[in-house]
Structure 1
Amino acid sequence: MSGFPNVLGSIDGTHVQLIPPSETEHVFRNRKHTHSINVQVVCDSTTLITNVVAKYPGSVHDAFIFRNCSLFQRMRDGQYGDGWLLGDRAYPLHPWIMTPVQNPRSLAEERYNQAHCSTRNVIERTFGLLKSRFRVLDRTGGALLYSPEKVCQIVVACCMLHNIAVRAGMPVEAIEELMAEDEDPGQNPEPVQTGDGRQTRDLLIRTYFS
């Protein structure tokens, strides 16, 4: 998509609102001062969800979830061959996950950022479609009244049903206000950038965007 090669998927987090247990209320308070589960999703170019991690409270940062999931370990070990995920600036830069250049200094870096943004946008469309199909996952549908464990099970079930619907070609119109909800990464720590990650991204820019 958009001339960006070797993309295995687009990754991001989305929040599902819930009423938290009173004894751990603070753990579920996210950056927008509501209570949620922070759900990590990877999708492909058709909005099919290929990986989901639904077990962390809303206070947990996207980069922490990725660093501690089995997908990170498998990608680090090279189990998916040559290729990478596309993540926003909240994620670390590694050879297996490409992030935007924060301060582009050349036309090639600007082209890279444009292609990265255009290709990665499929994850926002996926969230919009998922939450349009299942409004219980969206904040406009109110907060779920179940235990955190049950909310996580509901999220995974909805992702599975979404995939069934995508494969069956069942239409749904994504609501723009839902699609825009997850675009702001908020005030997050400066992401890690490894030397190997920078070298891989620099080579990618020189090869495809110069």
Structure 2
Amino acid sequence: WRNGIFVVDGSTINLFAKPGLYRETFYDWKLNYSLNCQLMIMPHNLLIMDYALRQLGSIHDAYTFQNTHIAKSHGALIPQRHWMWADMSYPTEKWCVIPFKKPWGSLNWKQNTYS
């Protein structure tokens, strides 16, 4: 993972009780009331570099990621020629690298090595 310095992924954090207002918007696909958490870490030491915990559980990871500091100010946080690893639900940018999506068949050896 040469030159990659961050890893990002999203997860839901379950709420203890149903919210009083707009409870259906907190309802996620796992049938829980939750908030969406985006976490950016440095994989070599597990240091948390950025996080976002303000979106509802029903919101997609890619949308929640747009509200993180690193997505808004990536030029100041990620050095040139470095990037962040993410899964296929995130945008493909020069600073955000995702694995190849499998087309109708399997990946060739170069794509497989990359992914």
User: Which category of TM-score, normalised to the shorter sequence, fits these structures?
Assistant: 0.7 to 0.9
2:71 is matched with 72
1:108 is matched with 110
After TM superposition, give the deviation of residue 105 of structure 1 in Å: 3.6
How far apart in 1 are the matches of 2:29 and 2:90? 16
Tell me whether 1:40 sits opposite 2:38 in the alignment.
yes
Structure 1 unaligned regions, length at least 5:
114-210
After TM superposition, give the deviation of residue 50 of structure 1 in Å: 1.3
Tell me whether 1:8 sits opposite 2:5 in the alignment.
yes
After TM superposition, give the deviation of residue 97 of structure 1 in Å: 0.6
- Partner SS, residue 21 of structure 2: helix
User: Could you give the per-residue CA deviations for residues 87-138 of structure 1, whole angstroms, max 9, x where no partner exists?
Assistant: 111111111111110026421110111xxxxxxxxxxxxxxxxxxxxxxxxx
Q: Which one has a larger percent helix, Structure 1 or Structure 2? A: 1
Greater C-alpha radius of gyration: 1
User: Could you give the per-residue CA deviations for residues 28-79 of structure 1, whole angstroms, max 9, x where no partner exists?
Assistant: 111111111111101112222111111111011110011232211211xx22
After TM superposition, give the deviation of residue 10 of structure 1 in Å: 0.5
User: Could you give the per-residue CA deviations for residues 113-170 of structure 1, whole angstroms, max 9, x where no partner exists?
Assistant: 1xxxxxxxxxxxxxxxxxxxxxxxxxxxxxxxxxxxxxxxxxxxxxxxxxxxxxxxxx
How far apart in 2 are the matches of 1:85 and 1:32? 27
TM-score for both structures, normalised by structure 1: 0.49
How far apart in 1 are the matches of 2:18 and 2:63? 21
Q: Which one has a larger percent strand, Structure 1 or Structure 2? A: 2
RMSD of aligned C-alpha atoms? 1.4
Which structure carries more relative contact order (alpha carbon 8 Å, separation 6+)?
1
Q: How many residues align?
A: 108
How far apart in 2 are the matches of 1:43 and 1:20? 30
- Segments of 4+ in structure 1 off by > 6 A? none
- Partner SS, residue 26 of structure 1: helix
1:86 is matched with 85
